[in-house]
Structure 1
Amino acid sequence: MATPAQSPAELYRHGLQLLLDKDIPGWVGLWDDDGVFEFPFAPDGWPKRLEGKAAVLDYMRDYPDHIDLHEFPELKIHQTVDPRTIVVEMRGVGRWVESGEPFDMTYIAVVSATDGRITHYRDYWNPLGIPKGDR
């Protein structure tokens, strides 16, 4: 559970562990009730913006049924001039559950947190990394 003393970087690292543990309710629990999740590169038919914790939960609920994350071998967290905001470069590695094929995705995210809760998350992932059948 997040605490107000957690920095955005600590909160983010904790969230990555929850994703590895496939604890989606725990991960969504790190969000502010009014948090916003954006996907600027989302393909047609996919959401570009989610508003509120309930929308984030609805979107992420089945994530472990699609992607089995194993590790985040490359993680760089950059502090910005705003102490509430970080820029994250990372790579997620695992497998696609349905096909068993390797999952290997590079991400850049801009994440803001206030009082130990994620308030805004802009996820710049590459939709071309999704198998054609899942797009």
Structure 2
Amino acid sequence: MTTHTRPADLFREGLCRLLDKDITGWIGLWAEDGVMEFPFAPPGRPKRLEGRTAIADYMRPYPEHIDLHDFPDLTVHRTTDPATIVVEMRGVGRLVRTGAPFDTTYIAVVTAREGRFTAYRDYWSPLAVAEPGADFAGGTR
């Protein structure tokens, strides 16, 4: 169980778990009523996930589609709300289905309270991994 109270530390722990492909551990960093949003989600993909269970259902197959190797260029910006950070980063790896390189930038607005993510707005472009006939982040379901 996490003991991080600062959102930036919790976020960094979350990145480590994603790199370890520990989706169960990453989900464990979430508040039960957490909300994850994807403002740039394409048609047919969720724009909003409410609750840890919905987030878990969405994220569980992630390692089957994107094999993340690193998050270089990580910059965390504090906001006037100590519970909220804005993060700029790059995700680097490969698309599992094709082996094609994955290299995209992200901006996330993240809120954490009592050592758990409560809100996560993920501003990344799904076009970075779009493949003809593909679903979820470049893979098929």
Question: Offset at 1:63?
Answer: 0.4
CA deviations over 1:112-131 (Å, ceiling 9, x no partner): 00000000000000122122
Alignment of 1:1-135 (within 5 A): 1-3=1-3, 5-133=4-132, 134-135=134-135
Task: State the distance in 1 between where 2:80 and 2:106 align.
Answer: 21
CA deviations over 1:79-124 (Å, ceiling 9, x no partner): 1010000000000000000000000110000000000000000000
SS of equivalent to 1:78: strand
Task: State the distance in 2 between where 1:48 and 1:117 align.
Answer: 21
Task: State the distance in 2 between where 1:18 and 1:6 align.
Answer: 17
* Greater strand proportion: 1
1:74 partner letter: D
Task: State the distance in 2 between where 1:52 and 1:107 align.
Answer: 22
Aligned length: 134
- Structure 1 length-normalised TM: 0.96
SS of equivalent to 2:119: strand
Q: CA RMSD in A?
A: 0.9
In the alignment, structure 1 segments of 5+ residues that lack a partner are: none
Question: Offset at 1:6?
Answer: 2.3
1:124 partner letter: Y
CA deviations over 1:25-83 (Å, ceiling 9, x no partner): 00000000000000000000000000000000000000000000000011000010100
Identity of aligned residues (%): 65
Task: State the distance in 2 between where 1:37 and 1:85 align.
Answer: 14
- Structure 2 length-normalised TM: 0.92
Runs of 4+ in structure 1 displaced over 4 angstroms?
Answer: none
